[in-house]
Every structure is written in structure tokens, then in C-alpha cells.
Amino acid sequence: MIGRAMPEPRTLPIPAIDPLEFPTGLVWLIGAGPGDPSLLTLQGAQALSLADTIVHDSLIDERLLDWRRDDAEIIFAGKRGGRPSPKQVDISLQLIELSKQGRRVARLKGGDPFVFGRGGEEALTLVRAGIPVRVTPGVTAGIAGLAYAGIPLTHREVNQSVTFITGHDHSGDTPGAIDWPMLAKGSQVIIMYMAIKNLRQITDSLLAGGRHEREPVTIICNATFSNQQVLETTLARAADEIEAYRLETPAVICVGATGLLRLAIDWKSALDGKPIRHINPLDSEARSLWGGLG
């Protein structure tokens, strides 16, 4: 294989795959994927290319907007540069207004619109207002981040279940509705969104609930972007280490032994030229190699 010329990628006109209807007045919630713009779905790209107006959040790679029509209107509805973010209700009202003006509205949201992204709230408000809605799922950060860190979300010998949690609720505190002792006891692998700020409190709760101090924790920052960083740590050390390394958000955090598979499968570092660690990551000795920033 080495030395052979790169093949030309085949380009297909997307409508040839699945021609989609985008009626006027429809609001189309589209998952943008986690970061790398090539992780947008084909359906999402096609919807963007048909929209009259695209309303998007922060955390969206601007290159995704290249899918727009030349005359499309772009509206930014997120937080940027410390300015206050528009309230959720204002965004929903704006979507209703645009729909009533007879526009085809693409509502582009990071990751998957229905995973910790308030897509449900927007959809509910729209449906209640009698506005037609369509939803295109996206690649969510909690799954993509693990894949890009070389960690299978499930692995037969390690875990048969996964729990997704958010690290804060609307008040900014750790979600009171989560039963932490039960989570600690019953969840084999825990994937956390928006958990950096409250990480110490979360790891303390998990330790108090009986999780092992040396349980592997993987923190994936800027997942799938070119500046992705991955910290291998443990439940006892995680909160101190994110402060010490001044890790950047956005970040997803994986608590669980499945992280150890990264020791062998860290394909991204391998492509970047780092040596592959030829070990069985599930051997007890492999754990001694766990730790550090990559």
C-alpha cells in the first residue's frame, strides 16, 4: 500500500442519494456533529443547502455554513466573546417568526439536537405553535469523543451498558435529580457532558458511592477538532489534573475501564506518528501505562 497514489474521492450530488422535501415554513432541527465539519450527515448537508435561513449555535465550525445557498440568511444564536446568550425562549420565538414569514428554516445545533442540547424544548415550542418540524440526528460528542480517543463505547469484555449524564442542570449545580449512589453502583461506564466545572463534586460523589479511586477516567477536550487533547487520569486525580493542565472546554469525560482500550487503539495518535502501544489493554499490568496528556 505504501507509496501508492491517493485515490480521488468520488463526489456524488447529494440529492441523488435521497432527494428531500423542504417545504416553506418548516423548521428543520439539524445535528451538526461534534466539531470536525466532515462529521455532518448527508441529510444535514442537504437540508442546509436548501434552507432560506440557517440559525446556528456557537461550537459550530463555520465551514459547515459553506453548505448554504448563496442567498441564504445566517443567524447566530449562541454565546460568543462573553456576550450574554439569547434566552432559549427568544430563539424559539425567532424560529416561529421565521416560519410564519414562510421561510425554510434550518436550525443547526452542535452534536445531536436531542442530546443535552435543548432541541427538545425548541421542538416542543414549535409543535405547540403549530409549526411543522423535522429532525436530523447528529453525531453526538459523547460518542464521537470516545471514538476519536480510541475508546469503544462498549466492549464485550468490559461493559454491557453506558450511562450519559450532564454535569450541571439549569441552575449550574450538579443535577439534583440524579441518584448519585445509584449511579455509582449501577453504571458500568458513565459518559459526562458539561461536567468540567462540577467535576470535583461529581468524582467525590462517585467515590463516596463506592467507585474505586484508581478507576480510569478519560477527558477528551475539543474532540474531533484539530486541537483535540486527551487526558488519561483516575477518579481520585481527575479534578486536580484538569486544574493543573488547564484543560479547555468543551470536554466529554468517560468514567470506566473501557477507557483503557485507548492504550492499544489510540488510532489518532498513531496516525500522527506516535508509536503504537502493543499491549493488551485489559491486562492488569497495562494499567501502569495509564496516565498523562496526549
State yes or no: is 79 an active-site residue. Answer: yes
Residues in the chain: 294
Of residues 117 and 216, the one with the C-beta less far from ligand SAH:
117
Size of the site for ligand SAH (CB under 6 A): 23
d(CA 240, CA 178): 24
In the range 52-71, which residues lie near ligand SAH by CB under 6 A?
59
Minimum CB distance to ligand SAH smaller for 225 or for 267 = 225
H-helix or E-strand spanning residue 6 = none
**Is 182 an active-site residue?**
no
61 alpha-carbon distance from chain centroid: 13
Cα first-last separation, the chain: 28
What stretches of 241-288 adopt beta strand conformation (E)? 251-255
Looking at residue 35, what DSSP letter applies?
S
The site map against ligand SAH for 21-40 (x = CB under 6 A) is -------------xx-----
Spatial separation of the C-alpha atoms in residues 122 and 99, rounded to whole Å = 13
Q: Which of 52, 57, 61, 266 is catalytic?
A: 57
Could you give the CA distance from residue 242 to residue 251 in angstroms, rounded to a whole number?
A: 11
Q: Does 194 bind ligand SAH (CB under 6 A)?
A: yes
Q: Does 116 bind ligand SAH (CB under 6 A)?
A: yes
Listed ranges 43-51, 73-81, 110-118, 262-270: which one lies at the site for ligand SAH (CB under 6 A): 110-118
Which stretch in 17-25, 220-228, 240-248, 275-283 sits in contact with ligand SAH by CB under 6 A? Answer: 220-228
Q: Which residues are catalytic?
A: 57, 79, 194
